[in-house]
Amino acid sequence: MALEKFFSPNSVAIVGASRKKGKVGYEILKSMIDAGYEGGIFPINPNTETIEGHKCYPDLESVGQAPELVIISVPATTVPTVMQQCAKIGTKSVIIITSGFKEVGKEGRELEQRIVQIAKQAHIRIIGPNCLGVIVPANKLNASFGGELPEKGTIGYLSQSGALLAAILDMANANSIGFSKLVSIGNKADINELDVIKALAGDTETRVIAGYLESIVDGNAFVSQAEQISYRKPILLMKAGGTSAGAKAASSHTGSLAGSEVAYECVFERAGIIRCDSIKQQFDYAQAFANQPLPKGSKVAIITNAGGAGIMAADAVEQHNLGFAKLSDETIKKLAAELPAAANLYNPVDILGDALADRYEFALDAILDDAGVDIVLVLLTPQAMTQPAAIAEAIVKIASQKPTKPVLACFLGAGKIADAVKILRRGKIPQYDSTEVAVSTIKVMFDYLRWRTRPKRVVKLFPVNRRKVENVIERYLRRGVREIGEEDSKEILEAYGFVTPKGSIATTAQQAANIAQQLGFPIVLKIWSPEILHKSDVGGVKLGLNSAVEVTDAFDLMMYRIPKQMPDADILGVLVQQMCGGGKEVILGMNRDPHFGPLMMFGMGGTMVEVLKDVSFYLAPLTAEEAKQMLISTRTYRMLKGERGEEGVDIDTIAEGLQRLSQLVTEFPQIQEMDINPYVVGPAGTTPIAVDARISVEQI
Ligand code: COA
């Protein structure tokens, strides 16, 4: 396993082990001793002979062997010297606890670069600096100052915040939640979040990868590798902080609606990562993944001793669009034979308020045997005669005898259920303090199952004319112009299979009238000048012209007024264009995130998109299913599809437009932002028209 020496070293040196209680170097040494670490412990401190009964060494060289892991807890300016000693003695794994590096500014950054340089030359891997350390309960390794060694478990945790990790540890210890490994990654000078996630993915003791992140070092590598890992193990992440994408001034609608939050949502969605909003939520979910099998489907059965709790759970099942298990006749017969006459034998199965452990045991056993049940949720409220602890034991017993379906518990109450909760947790039954949380955990398990079993992603490649686009973009970049003009944007769109409105340039009013007659009315006139990008602002767009006279009048007016307003603009004529109408206006867009690449956007409302904000985003390149999903996830999708007798538009052509755009922006990283707006779509069988586009490019 990668990072092995960090997780199971045979000897550990603590450089900066202090004599004084409360100091970091002391607490690390004490944590190592208290955890019962069985390998060699070498405290390094030139100012004392022993600490806590352990012989001290003045420096690493005096140890006489290379400890497999070195923990550094000396002031920042001393760290390079200690790193050189590590290089000299041949230690390859170092945890640097010390702060005062890149998080404090320029000097700190330079110091950090120095230690990275030493590490690279000597092939040393570093966790940190500015971190809390590493904890591996199974190896009795507590190389940290985070607190007591937690229980052994199957959750692998990584945290970019050391302080938060300490809080997580405390909470986990209070709730008997166990871990396989805990890693505080600090400044990620060398080992980063992906390295740890990969190590946990390959670790046989880890079933669930959980963590807290503030940033991601390499966006593309993270997306592709996390996606692969998610197929094998669930990844549950809390994410705080943003990227610079949100701060960048946007010139397109897509750019102004996209931001770092959107980018992370897209990345998590693509990579199958389950996003958590709080530590509690993360542990609610992690408990289930760590201790229970994944369900085979979404059919939930509920067992309860309280009608009200059963109804609340059933409501939550419905709200989360989960299935409600229909018990077989055989199961109902079995239940009827043993349960009191007043019991409700149908899901939610109400075994009544006076139910003792035997009734729970019997009902759970029978329901787990029912082929129509995928997941069982066991509810309990503590009545006078209820024996929560005995019931918890019964649930643990039956669930371990029939381990193929997930069993979750929701014991409601506080003092009366406290012992039962401990029994459930120890018995690997996830326990929740509300029906809503229990059911939303089931939903998350089911969504993960669906993600994992989705069809393989296949990105369709359309035949396109790449050369044409290359030429246009190069021309603009050579001139140092970022915004592509309308005619050239059309050329780009057409090269990628979009249909744009027909039209040509007229230089006289008569010519304009002739072109209009050939195209058919209504007609749009647009002023044609490389210097005028925002045509409407100068009266350079005239819509809905219905006759040759209206066209010549509008032409003359434009050619009279605009040169006065913009005397320096080189006016080449007027574009006479077919007017598209009758369809619905949508927007297809892209904004390039600096870390994760192109984010595709679909939005309703064309020019009203920023007001309506009915948009969805997805990471490019898009598959057909993903493009379709982008439409489905907007509020107005049903309207688009057609409802109550109203004819809908051709959904597939919009999805295809998104895929074509995704191909374009994937093949041309120079395109930074792009809107096709409006994209006018009509009923099935009609061709959508890309009426206007805004494309901005940058030299890369
Ligand atoms: N080799 C070995 N031991 C050395 C040494 C060296 N080169 N130089 C000093 N020491 C000893 C000192 O004698 C001292 O021991 P003592 O207390 O018994 O005298 C001990 O190492 C610590 O050195 P000291 O100078 O007292 O430093 P400190 O304990 O005040 O601070 C850090 C050191 C690393 C704790 C501090 O710089 C720091 O970074 N604190 C923040 C840590 C943190 O929050 N990390 C992130 C968590 S998320």
**Residues 292-326: tens digit of each pLDDT:** 999 999 999 999 999 999 999 999 999 999 999 99
When pLDDT is cut at 50, 70 and 90, the band that residue 607 belongs to is low
When pLDDT is cut at 50, 70 and 90, the band that residue 579 belongs to is confident
Residue 95 to residue 6: CA distance in whole angstroms: 8
- Tokens matching residue 193: 């979040």
When pLDDT is cut at 50, 70 and 90, the band that residue 253 belongs to is low
Give the Å distance between the CA of 482 and the centre of ligand 1.
53
Give the Å distance between the CA of 80 and the centre of ligand 1.
14
Pocket of ligand 1 contains residue 86 by CB under 6 Å: no
Average pLDDT for 242-270:
67
Q: What is the DSSP letter of 241?
A: S
Give the Å distance between the CA of 124 and the centre of ligand 1.
21
Q: What is the pLDDT of residue 639?
A: 82
- Tokens matching residue 238: 């809390």
Inform me whether the pLDDT recorded for 132 exceeds 50. yes
Kindly calculate the radius of gyration of the chain based on its CA atoms and give it in whole angstroms: 32
Q: What is the pLDDT of residue 257?
A: 62
CB 44 within 8 A of CB 17: yes
Inform me whether the pLDDT recorded for 243 exceeds 50. no
Tell the burial category of 251 from Cβ atoms under 10 Å away from its Cβ (0-12, 13-18, 19+).
Answer: middle
- Tokens matching residue 630: 């982008």
pLDDT in tens, 498-514: 999 999 999 999 999 99
Residue 469 to residue 489: CA distance in whole angstroms: 9
pLDDT in tens, 552-569: 999 999 999 999 999 999
Residue 238 to residue 151: CA distance in whole angstroms: 22
In DSSP terms, which residues pair with 410 in a beta bridge?
A: 379
Q: What is the pLDDT of residue 245?
A: 45
CA nearest neighbour of 285 among 418, 161, 406: 406
pLDDT in tens, 64-98: 999 999 999 999 999 999 999 999 999 999 999 99
As a residue count, the chain comes to 700
CA nearest neighbour of 258 among 571, 517, 581, 592: 592
Strands 235-239 and 274-275, bridge-based pairing: parallel
What is the separation, in whole angstroms, between the first and last Cα of the chain?
Answer: 38
Give the Å distance between the CA of 552 and the centre of ligand 1.
84
Pocket of ligand 1 contains residue 540 by CB under 6 Å: no
Omega before residue 234 within 30° of 0, cis? no
The C-alpha torsion from 687 through 689 and 695 to 699, rounded to 10°, is 30
Three-state secondary structure readout of 146-181: CCCCCCEEEEEEEECCHHHHHHHHHHHHHCCCCEEE
Pocket of ligand 1 contains residue 73 by CB under 6 Å: yes
Pocket of ligand 1 contains residue 693 by CB under 6 Å: no
Which residues, 6 or more positions from 20, have their beta carbon under 8 angstroms from its beta carbon? 26
Give the Å distance between the CA of 97 and the centre of ligand 1.
9
In DSSP terms, which residues pair with 70 in a beta bridge?
A: 13, 94
Q: What is the pLDDT of residue 269?
A: 94
CB 653 within 8 A of CB 681: yes
Q: What is the pLDDT of residue 246?
A: 40
Kind plus residue range of the DSSP H or E element containing 280: helix 279-291
Kind plus residue range of the DSSP H or E element containing 682: none
Q: What is the pLDDT of residue 280?
A: 94
- Tokens matching residue 425: 């947790």
Q: What is the pLDDT of residue 542?
A: 93
Inform me whether the pLDDT recorded for 242 exceeds 60. no
Max Cα distance, the chain (Å) = 103
Pocket of ligand 1 contains residue 16 by CB under 6 Å: yes
Q: What is the DSSP letter of 416?
A: G
Average pLDDT for 615-623:
96
Residue 57 to residue 51: CA distance in whole angstroms: 10
**Mutate which of 15, 19, 23 to test ligand 1's pocket (most atoms within 8 Å of Cβ)?**
23
Q: What is the mean pLDDT of the chain?
A: 93
| Residue 644 identity (one-letter amino acid) | R
Give the Å distance between the CA of 129 and the centre of ligand 1.
13
- Tokens matching residue 608: 């009203």
CA nearest neighbour of 334 among 354, 309, 297, 359: 359
Neighbours of 170 (CB within 10 A): 14
Pocket of ligand 1 contains residue 85 by CB under 6 Å: no
Residue 36 to residue 141: CA distance in whole angstroms: 8
Atom of ligand 1 nearest to the CA of 98: 39
Atom of ligand 1 nearest to the CA of 51: 18
CB 395 within 8 A of CB 364: yes
pLDDT in tens, 338-388: 999 999 999 999 999 999 999 999 999 999 999 999 999 999 999 999 999
Inform me whether the pLDDT recorded for 33 exceeds 80. yes
Residue 633 to residue 656: CA distance in whole angstroms: 16
When pLDDT is cut at 50, 70 and 90, the band that residue 254 belongs to is low
Pocket of ligand 1 contains residue 44 by CB under 6 Å: yes
Q: What is the pLDDT of residue 36?
A: 98
Residue 477 to residue 674: CA distance in whole angstroms: 16
Pocket of ligand 1 contains residue 131 by CB under 6 Å: yes
CB 590 within 8 A of CB 254: yes
Average pLDDT for 393-403:
98
Atom of ligand 1 nearest to the CA of 23: 29
DSSP 46-79: TT-SEETTEEPBSSGGGGSS--SEEEE-S-GGGH
Neighbours of 99 (CB within 10 A): 18
CA nearest neighbour of 9 among 121, 74, 95, 98: 95
Give the Å distance between the CA of 5 and the centre of ligand 1.
23
Q: What is the pLDDT of residue 176?
A: 84
Give the three-state DSSP class for 301. strand
Q: What is the pLDDT of residue 252?
A: 58
pLDDT in tens, 438-484: 999 999 999 999 999 998 899 999 999 999 999 999 999 999 999 99
Q: What is the pLDDT of residue 589?
A: 95
Give the three-state DSSP class for 597. strand
Give the Å distance between the CA of 73 and the centre of ligand 1.
5
Q: What is the DSSP letter of 104?
A: G
Pocket of ligand 1 contains residue 99 by CB under 6 Å: yes
In DSSP terms, which residues pair with 95 in a beta bridge?
A: 71, 127
Residue 548 to residue 555: CA distance in whole angstroms: 10
CA nearest neighbour of 442 among 542, 330, 313, 536: 313
Q: Which residue has the tokens 């940290």?
A: 144
Inform me whether the pLDDT recorded for 645 exceeds 80. no
